[in-house]
């Protein structure tokens, strides 16, 4: 069954999504929900088989965990509310006995519970269990086909250790295994440092397929020694233009509420300003913590770093961070504040009459602002700023943190002569040292060598199988269609019989088909009663790596062999063409084998 579409489907924005739909690989059933058609299923199975081979080779054991998760498990880890309320992504339901369940978006709770029930001693560790299974996530913005869907296939693995050092060892082994898996799949990936959240975060790395359509921004150093997701990236801020030492003065700054207008009117540079951002952390325990964030005027706040730091410093689980607006002040029964002229020393007493907010600010200052000797900042009075201010002069002691967004052009931490460049990436894999975060929450312990109870040391390792398939297309296509890497292509060879009415063509085509098949080659034959031109177009679109055309020369046993990716084409005797195919295909497989040694 080969049904291709001529037109670009209206709802598909990126190339790989368009090609999957046009090539008849997938069909959309609902937003973020797709059917995998027979050729797609072959691709997914090939990726699955590569992943299984490498994971088994690393010593991990395959398993299959339930997709229906009882709410109690997630309540025990403290994640039920965050995952089901508000913008939570867990689909959930109630059974006929009125018990709550969630559809598994990830499996830490389930696996940790099982392991803690079964394994009791350090002598039984380490173990690494993996599964390949459909995950459900009610994504806020499902898009780009299989890239961000609500039902998708993931390989997830969870390792359990008696010591942190052993976890690090397995993490390194997974790092190597992932590199092999992606190389086997014929895709280029970059390993980048990734955010590991606020609590329990050990090392974490993402594997990115670089592509302009990628949702993640990656920053890499010019010498290639450093690569990080922007969420995590660190850098040196550009040098500030120092302000000379002088006595503090007040500036009248009517209508100068943006950095740009303040700078142009007062003839100062953005790097001489300490700007203040007022936010609210909405906590899981339903308290609301006002945040006063100070950062250098030419820099921006990284929301992920801010979330992590605010969580760490407040010790609370934060569900969301939102801006403080005049409306919010009003609803708390508070007087209006001089927005646009606020300084880092805005007084806590302004919060004292708040109806439900905490009564003092959590004050965070980014290093870029903390390092300024003299600066300009708001005077906490309408239309007024101050110049030549120092931190000593302000009677506040904010917590010094790194919450700055690193950007292309910034100089690197490891070597100031190197600078950061940016590109976009699609995350296809993620490895993560969880530490004792989940084992502590779920009270999952083992008896250690000293005979004491200790929470398991854990790691988790994910690969988006269905996302990877589409990412491979994003990286390998041309204007005619897909150019599958051979190891994950649905078929290795497509035989096109140019004219089905010609008995010579039909006979030779079918003979070659049988021969290749008997040699273990994945071969597809296009014996539809379509015009040759239509079949060639379809073959290009669906992207099988080798095309063998049986046409007019069939009577003299001649065929045409074309490599899809290079479009290099040769007329060859049928036997020679078969030999060449076997050689080429075996070579690509030998390459896979030697890589694994």
Residues in contact with ligand ATP by the rule CB under 6 A: 106, 137, 139, 148-149, 152, 154, 427-430, 462, 464, 466-467
When asked if residue 137 is in the footprint of Mg ion (CB under 5 A), the reply is no
Nearer to Mg ion among residue 75 and residue 303 (C-beta): 303
* Min dist. Cβ of residue 484 to Mg ion (A): 26
Please give the full DSSP string across 471-512, using - where no structure is assigned: HHHHHSEETTEE---GGG-S-SEEEEES-TT-HHHHHHHHHH
Residue 428 interface partner, choices ligand ATP, Mg ion, none, CB cut-off 5-8 Å depending on type: ligand ATP
Closest residue to ligand ATP, based on beta-carbon distance: 464
Residue 270 DSSP code: G
Q: Binding marks (x or -) toward Mg ion, 334..373, rule CB under 5 A?
A: ----------------------------------------
Which of the listed partners (Mg ion, ligand ATP, none) does 361 bind, with a CB threshold of 5 to 8 Å by partner kind? none
Q: Report what 455 binds from Mg ion, ligand ATP, none; CB cut-off 5-8 Å by kind.
A: none
Distance CA 29, CA 6 (A): 20
Q: Are 193 and 233 in contact (CB under 8 A)?
A: yes
106 binds, among Mg ion, ligand ATP, none (CB under 5 to 8 A by kind): ligand ATP
Q: Which residues are CB-neighbours of 411 under 8 A, at least 6 positions away?
A: 235, 236, 238, 417, 418, 419, 420
216 or 530, CB closer to Mg ion? 216
**Closest to ligand ATP by CB, 132 or 442:** 132
- CB-based contact 444:113 (threshold 8 Å): yes
Bridge partners (DSSP) listed for residue 130: 62, 157
Least distance to ligand ATP from the beta carbon of 168, Å?
19
User: Distance (Å, rounded) from C-alpha 129 to C-alpha 115?
Assistant: 10
- Measure CA of the first residue to CA of the last residue in the chain; give whole Å: 39
Residue 37 or 146 having the CB closest to Mg ion: 146
Question: What are the C-alpha distances in Å from 50 to residues 55, 148, 174, 487, 521?
Answer: 9, 22, 14, 9, 17
Among Mg ion, ligand ATP, none, partner that 148 touches (CB below 5 to 8 angstroms by kind)? ligand ATP
Shortest Å distance, C-beta 489 to ligand ATP: 20
Q: Which does 485 bind (CB under 5 to 8 A by kind): ligand ATP, Mg ion, none?
A: none
Complex with Mg ion: residue 24 or 464, whichever CB lies closer: 464
Instruction: State which residue, 194 or 412, has the beta carbon closest to ligand ATP.
Output: 194
- Binding segment for Mg ion (CB under 5 A), chosen from 321-329, 428-436, 513-521, 524-532, is 428-436
The alpha carbon torsion through 537, 538, 539, 544 (nearest 10 deg) reads 130
Written in H, E and C, the secondary structure of 334-392 is CCCCCCCCCCCCCCHHHHCCCCCECCCCEEEEEHHHHCCCCEEEEEEECCEEEEEECCC
- Minimum CB distance to ligand ATP, residue 419 (Å): 26
Report how far residue 340's alpha carbon sits from residue 396's, in angstroms, rounded to the nearest whole number: 20
Q: CB of 152: closest distance to ligand ATP in angstroms?
A: 4
- Judged by beta carbon, residue 87 or residue 478, the one nearer ligand ATP is 87
Closest CB to Mg ion among 76 and 430?
430
Using the rule CB under 5 A, give the single segment among 225-233, 402-410, 422-430, 506-514 that binds Mg ion. 422-430
Please say which residue, 161 or 430, places its beta carbon nearer to ligand ATP.
Answer: 430
Smallest gap from Cβ 149 to ligand ATP, in A, equals: 5
Smallest CA-to-CA distance from 483 within 494, 472, 495 is with 472
Question: In angstroms, what CA-CA distances link 104 with 65, 128, 437?
Answer: 9, 19, 19
Provide the minimum distance between the beta carbon of 591 and ligand ATP in the complex, in angstroms, as a whole number.
Answer: 25
Of 434 and 550, the one with the shorter C-beta distance to ligand ATP is 434
Least distance between ligand ATP and beta carbon 225 (Å) = 23
Pair of tokens at residue 354: 């708040």
CB under 5 to 8 A by kind: which of ligand ATP, Mg ion, none does 429 bind? ligand ATP
CA–CA separation, 494 vs 245, rounded Å? Answer: 76
CB of 553 to ligand ATP, least distance (A): 46
Are residues 196 and 432 in contact, defined by beta-carbon separation less than 8 angstroms? Answer: yes
Minimal distance in Å, beta carbon 155 to Mg ion? 13
Q: Which residues of 269-292 are buried (b: 16+ CB within 10 A; e: fewer)?
A: ebbbbbbbbbbbbbbeeeebbbbb
For residue 397, count CB atoms less than 10 angstroms from its CB and return exposed for 0-12, middle for 13-18, buried for 19 or more: exposed
Query: Which residue lies nearer to ligand ATP by CB, 58 or 466?
Result: 466
| 430 part of the interface to Mg ion, by CB under 5 A | yes
Q: Write down the least CB distance from residue 427 to Mg ion, Å.
A: 6
- Whole-angstrom distance, CA of residue 479 vs CA of residue 462: 32
Token pair, residue 307, equals 């979330």
State the maximum Cα–Cα separation within the chain, in Å, rounded to a whole number. Answer: 98
Indicate the residue among 428 and 592 with the shorter CB distance to ligand ATP.
Answer: 428
* Closest CB to Mg ion: residue number: 430
Identify the DSSP state of 536: H
Using CB under 5 A, which of the segments 30-38, 126-134, 425-433, 484-492 binds Mg ion? Answer: 425-433
Q: Using the minimum distance from each CB to ligand ATP, give the nearer residue, 232 or 467.
A: 467
- Report strand pairing: 249-252 vs 546-550: unpaired
- Residues 321 and 307: beta-carbon distance below 8 Å: yes
Which residue is listed with tokens 């403080």? 324
Task: Report the nearest approach of ligand ATP to the CB of residue 132 (Å).
Answer: 12
> How many residues in the shown chain lie near Mg ion by CB under 5 A?
1
Give me 401's structure tokens.
Answer: 């943190």
Residue 199 CB: number of other CB atoms within 10 A? Answer: 14
Nearest approach in angstroms of CB 28 to ligand ATP is 14
Q: What is the per-residue binding string for Mg ion in 522-551, x denoting contact by CB under 5 A?
A: ------------------------------
- Site residues (vs Mg ion, CB under 5 A): 430
């Amino acid at each position: 069954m080969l049904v291709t579409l001529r037109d670009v489907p209206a709802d598909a924005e990126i190339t790989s999504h368009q090609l999957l739909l046009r090539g008849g690989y997938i069909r959309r059933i609902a937003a973020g929900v797709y059917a995998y058609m027979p050729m797609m299923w072959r691709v997914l199975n090939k990726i699955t088989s590569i992943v299984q081979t490498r994971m088994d080779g690393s010593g991990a054991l395959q398993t299959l965990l339930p997709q229906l998760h009882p709410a109690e498990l997630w309540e025990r880890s403290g994640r039920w509310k965050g995952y089901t309320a508000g913008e939570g992504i867990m689909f959930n339901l109630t059974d006929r006995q009125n018990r709550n369940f969630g559809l598994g978006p990830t499996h830490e709770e389930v696996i940790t519970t099982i392991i803690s029930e079964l394994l009791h001693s350090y002598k039984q560790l380490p173990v690494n269990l993996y599964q390949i299974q459909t995950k459900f996530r009610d994504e806020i913005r499902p898009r780009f086909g299989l890239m961000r869907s609500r039902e998708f296939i993931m390989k997830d693995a969870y390792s359990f250790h008696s010591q942190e050092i052993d976890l690090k060892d397995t993490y390194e082994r997974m790092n190597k295994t992932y590199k092999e898996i992606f190389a086997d799949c014929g895709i280029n990936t970059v390993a980048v440092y990734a955010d590991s959240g606020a609590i329990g975060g050990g090392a974490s790395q993402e594997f990115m397929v670089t592509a302009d359509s990628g949702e993640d921004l990656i920053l890499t150093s010019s010498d290639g020694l450093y690569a990080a997701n922007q969420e995590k990236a660190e850098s040196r801020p550009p040098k500030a233009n120092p302000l000379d030492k002088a006595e503090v003065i007040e500036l009248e700054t009517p209508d100068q509420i943006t950095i740009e207008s303040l700078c142009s009117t007062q003839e100062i540079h953005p790097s001489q300003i300490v700007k203040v951002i007022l936010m609210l952390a909405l906590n899981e325990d339903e308290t609301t913590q006002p945040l006063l964030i100070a950062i250098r005027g030419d820099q921006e706040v990284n929301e992920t770093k801010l979330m992590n730091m605010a969580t760490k410093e407040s010790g609370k689980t934060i569900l969301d961070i939102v801006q403080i607006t005049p409306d919010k002040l009003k609803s708390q029964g508070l007087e209006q504040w001089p927005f646009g002229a606020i300084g880092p020393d805005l007084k806590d007493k302004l919060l004292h009459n708040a109806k439900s907010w905490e009564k003092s600010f959590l004050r965070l200052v980014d290093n870029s602002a903390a390092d300024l000797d003299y600066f300009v900042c708001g005077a906490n009075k309408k239309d007024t700023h101050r110049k030549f201010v120092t931190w000593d002069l302000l009677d506040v002691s904010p917590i010094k943190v790194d919450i700055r967004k690193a950007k292309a052009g910034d100089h690197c931490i490891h070597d100031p002569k190197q600078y950061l460049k940016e590109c976009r990436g699609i995350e296809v894999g993620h490895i993560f040292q969880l530490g004792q975060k989940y084992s502590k929450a779920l009270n999952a312990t083992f008896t250690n060598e000293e005979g004491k109870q200790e929470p398991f040391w854990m790691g988790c390792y994910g690969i988006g199988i269905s996302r990877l398939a589409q990412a491979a297309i994003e990286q390998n296509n041309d204007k005619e269609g897909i150019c599958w890497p051979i190891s994950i292509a649905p078929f290795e060879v497509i035989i096109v019989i140019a004219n089905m009415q010609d008995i010579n063509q039909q006979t030779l085509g079918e003979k070659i088909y049988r021969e290749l098949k008997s040699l273990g080659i994945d071969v597809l034959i296009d014996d539809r009663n379509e015009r040759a031109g239509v079949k060639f177009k379809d073959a290009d679109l669906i992207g099988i790596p080798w095309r063998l055309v049986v046409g007019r020369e069939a009577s003299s046993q001649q065929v045409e062999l074309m490599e899809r990716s290079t479009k290099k084409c040769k007329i060859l005797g049928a036997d020679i063409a078969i030999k060449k195919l076997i050689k080429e295909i075996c070579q690509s497989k030998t390459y896979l084998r030697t890589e694994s040694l």
